[in-house]
Each structure stands twice: as C-alpha cells, then as structure tokens.
C-alpha cells in the first residue's frame, strides 16, 4: 500500500507575506493520493487549491511541512534538480493553456523533450504520438492563434504528457472553455487516468467536471477538509 502512494503531504503549511499582512494560504494539509487515482480539488476562491497544487508540483516551496511525490522528498532537491525532476515526472496543465505563441502545436509539445536525451527524430515521433492522443494529428503545424480554446488546451495536455510523466496536475483546466470543449478535455484526462494509468489531480470549480474524478477533496480557508466531508457551504 505504502509504495502505491504518489502524493503525500505532511502538515503542509504555506503563508504569503503581503505588505504587513500574512496570508495563510494553506495550513496543516495532510493529503494522500494513490497511484491511479483521479482526484478533484474543490473549494471556494482563495481556499488554497492552487497553492496546494503548486506545492505538489514543486513550483513553490512550503513554509512548513513536507511534500513527498513519487517517493521523492521535494525539500531535499535544489532548484535545478527540481526543474529536472518536474520535467521528468509531472505534467502541468494551466487554466489559460500557456502555449508559446511563436511555436507550432508540435513544437510546443516537443519543448519538454528538449531537456531529454532524445534525438530530433524521436522527439518529433513522441510529440506526434502525444498530439494523436488528444486527437489533433491534423493540427501539428498550426500556431496557437490558429486553434480554438479547446484545441489549445488539448495541445497543452499533449505537452504535459509527452515526457510520459506518472503524475498530471491540472489547475482549472476547463475554466476557460465552453461546455463542449470542457467535456473533450475531461474525457482526455479520464482516458489518461484509466487507460494510461496516470495519476491525475485536478483543481476545479465546476461540480460537473468534478464528477469525472474518482474522488473529490474539499478545501476551505486554507484547510483541507477530511476525506468524505460534505462540500463547504
């Protein structure tokens, strides 16, 4: 059971100092997510969902507490090691897609592979495979501005999975999408979870989106509510 743990946070605490004020974004979060789970993080705005996700992705460092992801204690890694680690193990999907506007769909997807030892030919193959998985084989040479929001987000997902990471983190991936595109994106995430065995953690406001997850965890005012709690009012 222990080796099945993909994410484990222990008394995770994060506060931001803003001017004189201290904002407690997350307090004493103890979260355990197992391999193959698809977890939705929900809660009101400002409840600390993104903060938690960033700490798991080691994009931010905790004020206190520990994060262990895929057997790695993140606080033990230097900035440089973390960059490398994230490239290899974590795929991150943003609400705003964040594709590089001057690169084509395929080049965007190829980007993370530039940090690997793959040859140019292999990189292109991998990128094309990833784009095929999100059903965008016919859009490889398109630039982001030539794509719809839904297509952009699917390219972003292809970019997140191209290095074949075990963990996919998504911060409101459907937040900027219409219902139809949102459904496509959720279907892809579900497929990645069920057919490819990826562990998925998705922050969302949308109860409809959360239904795709195998488990929902709620946050409120920086606190992670116990498993099985009803949604906060």
Partner 1 sequence: MAIPFSYNFRNLRVRKTTTVMTALGIALTVAVLLGIMAMVVGLNVALQATGHPLQMIVVRKNSNSELGSQVAREALLSIKYKDGIQKFPNGEPMVSGEIVRVINLPRKNNPEGANVNIRGLSQLGIEMRPGIRLAEGNWFEPGQREIVVGQSIALRYVNAALGDTLRFGRGDWKIVGVLDAGKTAFDNEIWGELNQIASDFNQNETLSSVLVRATDPIALEALKNSMADDQRLYLDAKSEVEYYSQLTSSADPVKFLGVFVAIIMAIGSSFAAMNTMYAAVVRRAREIGTLRVLGFSRGSILLSFVVESLLLSLLGGLFGVLLVIPLNGLKSGIGNFGTTFSEIGFDFRITPFIVLVGIAFATIMGIFGGLLPARTAAKQDILNALREL
Ligand X SMILES: Nc1ncnc2c1ncn2[C@@H]1O[C@H](COP(=O)(O)OP(=O)(O)OP(=O)(O)O)[C@@H](O)[C@H]1O
Binding site for partner 1 (CB under 8 A): 54, 57, 59-60, 79-80, 83-84, 86-88, 92, 94, 96, 98, 100-103, 107, 111-112, 114-115, 159
- Judged by beta carbon distances under 5 to 8 A according to partner kind, the member of Mg ion, partner 1, ligand X, none in contact with residue 100 is partner 1
Task: Name the residue nearer to ligand X (CB basis): 88 or 206.
Answer: 206
Nearest distance, CB of residue 59 and partner 1, angstroms: 5
Nearest distance, CB of residue 50 and Mg ion, angstroms: 3
Task: Name the residue nearer to ligand X (CB basis): 8 or 172.
Answer: 172
- Judged by beta carbon distances under 5 to 8 A according to partner kind, the member of partner 1, Mg ion, ligand X, none in contact with residue 19 is none
Nearest distance, CB of residue 54 and ligand X, angstroms: 8
Could you identify the residue written with the tokens 């506060």?
Answer: 15
Cα 104 to Cα 143: distance, rounded to the nearest angstrom:
4
Residue 35 corresponds to which tokens in the numbers above?
């391999």
User: Should residue 61 be labelled a site residue for ligand X when binding is judged by CB under 6 A?
Assistant: no
Let me know: does 145 contact 103? Beta carbons within 8 Å: no
Strand locations in the chain, DSSP E?
A: 5-18, 21-29, 32-34, 38-42, 64-69, 72-73, 90-93, 167-171, 199-203, 215-220, 223-224
Let me know: does 99 contact 148? Beta carbons within 8 Å: no
Task: Name the residue nearer to partner 1 (CB basis): 96 or 146.
Answer: 96
Please, which residues have CB within 8 angstroms of residue 32's CB and are 6 or more apart in sequence?
Answer: 5, 7, 8, 9
User: Should residue 232 be labelled a site residue for ligand X when binding is judged by CB under 6 A?
Assistant: no
Closest-CA residue to 29 (of 5, 48, 4, 3): 48
Task: Name the residue nearer to Mg ion (CB basis): 27 or 50.
Answer: 50
User: Should residue 25 be labelled a site residue for ligand X when binding is judged by CB under 6 A?
Assistant: yes
Nearest distance, CB of residue 10 and partner 1, angstroms: 22
Nearest distance, CB of residue 4 and partner 1, angstroms: 25
Rounded to whole angstroms, what are the CA distances from 178 to 181, 206, 222, 229? 5, 12, 29, 29
User: Should residue 47 be labelled a site residue for Mg ion when binding is judged by CB under 5 A?
Assistant: no
Could you identify the residue written with the tokens 């993370």?
Answer: 112
The values of phi and psi at residue 167, to 5°, are -125, 130
Q: Which of residues 31-60 bind ligand X (CB under 6 A)?
A: 43, 45-51
User: Should residue 23 be labelled a site residue for ligand X when binding is judged by CB under 6 A?
Assistant: yes
Cα 96 to Cα 44: distance, rounded to the nearest angstrom:
19
Nearest distance, CB of residue 111 and partner 1, angstroms: 6
Contacts with Mg ion, residue ranges (CB under 5 A): 50
């Amino acid at each position: 059971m222990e080796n099945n743990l993909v994410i484990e946070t222990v008394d995770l605490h994060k506060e931001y100092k803003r001017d004189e004020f201290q904002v407690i974004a997350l307090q004493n979060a103890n979260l355990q997510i197992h391999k193959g789970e698809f977890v939705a993080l929900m809660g009101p705005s400002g409840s600390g969902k993104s903060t938690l996700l960033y700490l798991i992705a080691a994009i931010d460092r905790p004020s206190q507490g520990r994060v262990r992801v895929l057997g790695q204690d993140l606080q033990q890694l230097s900035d440089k090691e973390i960059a490398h680690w994230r490239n290899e193990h974590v795929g991150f999907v943003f609400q705003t897609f964040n594709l590089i506007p001057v690169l084509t769909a395929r080049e965007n997807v190829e980007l993370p592979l530039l940090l690997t030892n793959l040859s140019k030919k292999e990189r292109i193959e991998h990128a094309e495979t990833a784009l095929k998985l999100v059903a965008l084989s016919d859009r490889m040479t398109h630039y982001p501005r030539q794509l719809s929001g839904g297509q952009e987000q699917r390219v972003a997902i292809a970019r997140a999975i191209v290095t074949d990471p075990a963990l996919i983190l998504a911060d409101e991936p459907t937040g900027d999408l219409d219902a139809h595109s949102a459904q496509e994106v959720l279907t892809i995430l579900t497929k990645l979870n069920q057919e490819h065995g990826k562990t998925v953690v998705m922050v969302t406001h949308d109860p409809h989106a959360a239904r795709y997850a195998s488990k929902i965890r709620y946050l409120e005012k920086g606190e992670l509510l116990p498993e099985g709690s009803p949604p906060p009012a």
